Structure 1
């Protein structure tokens, strides 16, 4: 019962390891997940990350509702906005994150999914934000990102009915990139991660940050931010290495400098 963090070369693998509870997360697991994301953000050896669940039944069933409704935190904690930040709740992680969805992706599992960049799912995976069936609504970005990432009518159907969809439907609507057989899940996710890790890390992180910030700024501001960021990257050692490698017809050796 833990949040496991393994590092494979430049790839971090974050595993929600509570299969006996369908990888549902109580306060302890959310705290562990927060620590894992901070390590991914701050460790320069990590260039990309994969998040998955233990076992073959569930990616995550989301928040362990019994633990939260039985022991609600003090009301004052709602003002501690920088406490226990998560990928889907305030923490800025510009390194790409890939979701390897190994089974049911429910509630908080789906809101975590929505904060990732590339998503691979097994054929038996299911997806839902069913909190309205239990007197709640999907927090940690559920009401914000779902409407950004899916057509309006589809997002509202999921939010308001609480009904779920299967992996094929999720792929059709662009919620996931690919649907694969179970034995192909981690190899496919790792292939994506390693392809990304081969690229210039500063450029990759800048591309992700600019793309996500574009949702919150007008086009003129976004274009100006692009211009300024590109000017910065032009002075980097990686930009020089990319140019030299292209001229010398060899693979580049990027260092993130």
Structure 2
């Protein structure tokens, strides 16, 4: 059975792609679960960070479960599939809190797209990244995914990877900036927990504004609208408390308001 396992662990929302017999290939129920994450986070101010990883430790996600393509006979079915996946990816990109991807083994096809929607990616040295559809299925990638890969990998590297159907090793993904850190498997879990604690200790309104500014800059450039978020952050109780705590050399616990 495949599923997206969702666990609320204090301020951390843990998402696990669970289809280990098929290297966590993503099924429709798993996509539906991912689509529900953004509204879940939007209505729960206690969530400070989301972490996404694959079950079993052998793979992040080996793309969409190919069995779901077996009955495709028209191009319109492909269009509807890509629209459905695009809605999931846009939802992940809209999540107001940082999203941390933890990649062990392959993150390919749709798995690569999910990893690209994470703000930070921690990977093991054996991780690989790619979308070799030109060699395997003969389908294609939509503009949303290509654009996101170009933002995270660079335009030249993205097209070279896609046109040659090559898988990028973790070291190259790190050099490109797609991967934030490489961590040995035996140290991975503790490293991730330490990272989540660091994120949870930061001001949530600041983090949310930085994510939203990034989205606006990618859409509208450096002249993107900013006054609404600047007013929200500078007018917040957290900012006033932060100034007072800084001047008094005292610790602070952020409220997110």
Q: TM-score, normalised by structure 2?
A: 0.89
**Structure 2 partner of 1:245:** 245
**Structure 1 partner of 2:13:** 12
Return structure 1 stretches of 4+ with deviation > 4 angstroms. Answer: 71-77, 79-84, 88-91
**Structure 1 partner of 2:206:** 203
Tell me, yes or no, if the aligned pair for 2:153 and 2:173 is still in contact at 8 Å: no
The alpha-carbon distance between structure 1 residues 72 and 191, as it changes in their structure 2 partners (threshold 3 A), is farther
Alpha-carbon distance between aligned partners in 2 of 1:75 and 1:44, rounded to the nearest angstrom: 39
Displacement, 1:74? Answer: 10
SS in 2 for 1:70: coil
Pick aligned residue for 1:216 from 219, 222, 230: 219
Alpha-carbon distance between aligned partners in 1 of 2:250 and 2:221, rounded to the nearest angstrom: 39
**Structure 1 partner of 2:63:** 62
Alpha-carbon distance between aligned partners in 2 of 1:84 and 1:46, rounded to the nearest angstrom: 24
SS in 2 for 1:16: strand
Tell me, yes or no, if the aligned pair for 2:38 and 2:91 is still in contact at 8 Å: no
Q: Which stretch of structure 1 is more off in the superposition, 99-108 or 183-192?
A: 183-192
Displacement, 1:201? Answer: 0.9
Alpha-carbon distance between aligned partners in 2 of 1:58 and 1:33, rounded to the nearest angstrom: 18
**By percentage of residues, which structure has more helix?**
2
The alpha-carbon distance between structure 1 residues 232 and 112, as it changes in their structure 2 partners (threshold 3 A), is same
**Structure 2 partner of 1:105:** 107
Q: Structure 2, unaligned stretches of length 5 or more? A: none
Alpha-carbon distance between aligned partners in 2 of 1:117 and 1:72, rounded to the nearest angstrom: 36
CA deviation digits over 1:64-95, x for unaligned, max 9? 12213425799498499689932456762121
Pick aligned residue for 1:123 from 108, 122, 125: 125
Alpha-carbon distance between aligned partners in 2 of 1:84 and 1:93, rounded to the nearest angstrom: 15
Displacement, 1:227? Answer: 3.9
Aligned pairs, number: 254
The alpha-carbon distance between structure 1 residues 29 and 149, as it changes in their structure 2 partners (threshold 3 A), is same
Please list, as runs of the form range in 1=range in 2, the aligned pairs for 1:84-95 lying within 5 A after superposition: 85-88=87-90, 92-95=94-97
Q: Which stretch of structure 1 is more off in the superposition, 27-36 or 119-128?
A: 27-36
Q: Which stretch of structure 1 is more off in the superposition, 201-210 or 137-146?
A: 137-146
Displacement, 1:250? Answer: 1.7
Q: Structure 1, unaligned stretches of length 5 or more? A: none
Q: TM-score, normalised by structure 1?
A: 0.89
Alpha-carbon distance between aligned partners in 1 of 2:124 and 2:179, rounded to the nearest angstrom: 10
Tell me, yes or no, if the aligned pair for 1:26 and 1:68 is still in contact at 8 Å: no
Pick aligned residue for 1:186 from 186, 189, 196: 189
